[in-house]
Chain A
Amino acid sequence: MLRSLSLGAVLFATWLLLSGFYDDPLLLGLGVVSTVLVVYIAHRMDVIDHEGHPVQLSFGGVMYWPWLLWEIVKSNIGVAKVILSPSMPATPVFFKIKSSQKTDLGRTIYANSITLTPGTITVAIDGEDFLIHALTREGAKGVMSGKMDRKVSRLEAPSETPA
């Protein structure tokens, strides 16, 4: 129930943000109707859960996103160097790692974070085994160091993995 209310609040805030009209009763009314309709349908489909609307990640996400963005900038520079150097020192490699996340949501966040970082792509997932393609061996070592894995596990379950 709380999660449905939270989803409704987020949806209506998005409506306000995208419309930009705050004093037109018709537009506000349409916004309320759409919000209620979408929340009702989502409730009927039973998708308002810890995966469909993961509010439990809000606080951890605020800490995780800036770190991930900085990692993305760093690895962008690495990949750009490979592309721009005349000899093009790419050492592409496939490798497998084990992830430490316990839920599908945590694994999805980890896999998407790896893919979002240039130089590494999650190609396949089988349970906790990830098949990853890296542009360089250094990039592969970066993933294998497991720093991102630990960060995502902490984001997924802050109480179980102490910092």
Chain B
Amino acid sequence: MTTTLLDVISWAFLLIGGASVIIGTLGILRLPDVYTRMHAASITDTLGAGMIVAGLAIQGGFSLVSAKLFLIFVFLLFTSPVSTHALAKAALTAGVTPAGTDRKSGKGAEAP
């Protein structure tokens, strides 16, 4: 009985995670430019990865496997903003025109 319940919860997490990854991918395809696409990509590595890791950790139970999965999630949380920031800054330095602005570079663009 308990295992069935755990399976259901675990599958719910895995399905939410899978759906998040699909939504993130869809966003990368639909959104107009490199900056906005990065926002879609960050769904994949926060909610997508987080929910999949959570679902797998429930399958693993209270064990070393779950501890290692948790470590994977922590390392993702520390590394993904660094790569996102590097990509965004490289795009800005290379002079990629952001969608929705007339300016050549995004520097000093208006506040909302």
18 A-B residue pairs with Cβ-Cβ distance under 8 Å, sorted by A, are: A17-B64, A69-B50, A72-B47, A76-B43, A83-B27, A84-B26, A88-B31, A94-B98, A118-B42, A120-B39, A121-B35, A121-B38, A121-B39, A121-B42, A123-B88, A131-B92, A135-B36, A141-B112
Given contacts A83-B40, A84-B23, contact A76 B98 (CB under 8 A): no
Band of interface residues on A: 35 or more
Decide: B85 and A17 in contact? CB cutoff 8 A.
no
The yes or no answer to B61 lying at the interface (CB within 8 A) is no
Q: How many B residues, CB 8 Å from partner?
A: 44
The yes or no answer to A42 lying at the interface (CB within 8 A) is no
The yes or no answer to A137 lying at the interface (CB within 8 A) is yes
* A23–B70 CA distance with the chains assembled, in angstroms: 24
The interface residues of chain A lying within 8 Å CB-to-CB of B30 are: 83, 88
Given contacts A95-B111, A123-B92, contact A90 B32 (CB under 8 A): yes
**B48 CB to closest chain A CB, in angstroms?**
9
The B interface, classified by DSSP as helix, strand, loop or mixed, is: helix
The interface residues of chain B lying within 8 Å CB-to-CB of A135 are: 36, 39
The yes or no answer to A92 lying at the interface (CB within 8 A) is yes
Decide: B42 and A92 in contact? CB cutoff 8 A.
no
The interface residues of chain A lying within 8 Å CB-to-CB of B108 are: 96
The interface residues of chain A lying within 8 Å CB-to-CB of B32 are: 90, 92
* A79–B47 CA distance with the chains assembled, in angstroms: 11
The yes or no answer to B71 lying at the interface (CB within 8 A) is yes
For the complex with contacts A72-B50, A115-B85, 14 further pairs of A-B residues with Cβ separation under 8 Å are A73-B47, A83-B30, A90-B31, A92-B36, A92-B98, A94-B98, A95-B109, A112-B78, A116-B81, A118-B42, A119-B39, A119-B42, A121-B35, A124-B92
The interface residues of chain B lying within 8 Å CB-to-CB of A18 are: 68, 71
Decide: A79 and B109 in contact? CB cutoff 8 A.
no
The interface residues of chain A lying within 8 Å CB-to-CB of B8 are: none
Given contacts A91-B100, A116-B77, contact A137 B112 (CB under 8 A): yes
Decide: A92 and B81 in contact? CB cutoff 8 A.
no
* A124–B38 CA distance with the chains assembled, in angstroms: 15
B-contact 0/1 string along A137-151, CB 8 Å cutoff: 100110010000000
Interface centre among B43, B82, B98, by most A CB within 10 Å?
Answer: B43
Decide: B81 and A80 in contact? CB cutoff 8 A.
no
Decide: B100 and A133 in contact? CB cutoff 8 A.
no
Shortest Cβ-Cβ A-B pairs, 6 listed: A94-B109, A115-B81, A83-B27, A94-B106, A137-B112, A112-B81
